[in-house]
Amino acid sequence: MTNAELAILSLVAEKPRHGYEIECVIEERGMREWTEIGFSSIYYLLKKLEKEGLLEGQMEATGRGPARKVYRPTAAGRLALREGVLEALSVSQPCYMPFQLGLANIPGITQEEILSSLHKYQQSLLHRLEHVKTRWESQRPLPYFVDAMFEHSITMIEAERQWIEEFINKVEALEDDQS
Note the pLDDT of residue 66. Answer: 85
With bands split at pLDDT 50, 70 and 90, how would you rate the model's confidence at 98? confident
The answer, yes or no, to whether residue 6 has pLDDT greater than 90, is yes
* Cα(165)–Cα(144) distance, integer angstroms: 31
Residue 35 three-state SS: coil
Same domain, 169 and 151: yes
Same domain, 40 and 69: yes
The answer, yes or no, to whether residue 43 has pLDDT greater than 90, is yes
Residue 73 three-state SS: strand
Same domain, 71 and 120: no
Same domain, 24 and 65: yes
CATH code (residue 76): 1.10.10.10
Same domain, 75 and 119: no
Q: Which of 90, 114, 145 delimits the end of a domain?
A: 90
What are the start-end ranges of the H helices in the chain?
A: 3-14, 19-28, 39-51, 75-90, 98-104, 111-139, 144-178
Residue pLDDT, tens place only, 147-157: 998 999 999 99
Asked if omega into 141 is within 30° of 0 (cis), the reply is yes
Q: Which of 56, 90, 124 delimits the end of a domain?
A: 90
Same domain, 106 and 47: no
Q: How many distinct structural domains can be found in the chain?
A: 2
Return the DSSP state at 37: -
Same domain, 76 and 136: no
Q: Which of 58, 90, 122 delimits the end of a domain?
A: 90
* Cα(68)–Cα(62) distance, integer angstroms: 7
Q: Are 136 and 152 in contact (CB under 8 A)?
A: no
Same domain, 39 and 58: yes
Q: In Å, what is the CA distance from 156 to each residue of 37, 112, 125, 149?
A: 20, 27, 10, 11
* Cα(138)–Cα(141) distance, integer angstroms: 9
Same domain, 72 and 38: yes
Domain that holds residue 24: 3-90
Same domain, 82 and 126: no
Note the pLDDT of residue 129. Answer: 94
pLDDT (mean) for 66-78? 95
Q: Are 111 and 178 in contact (CB under 8 A)?
A: yes
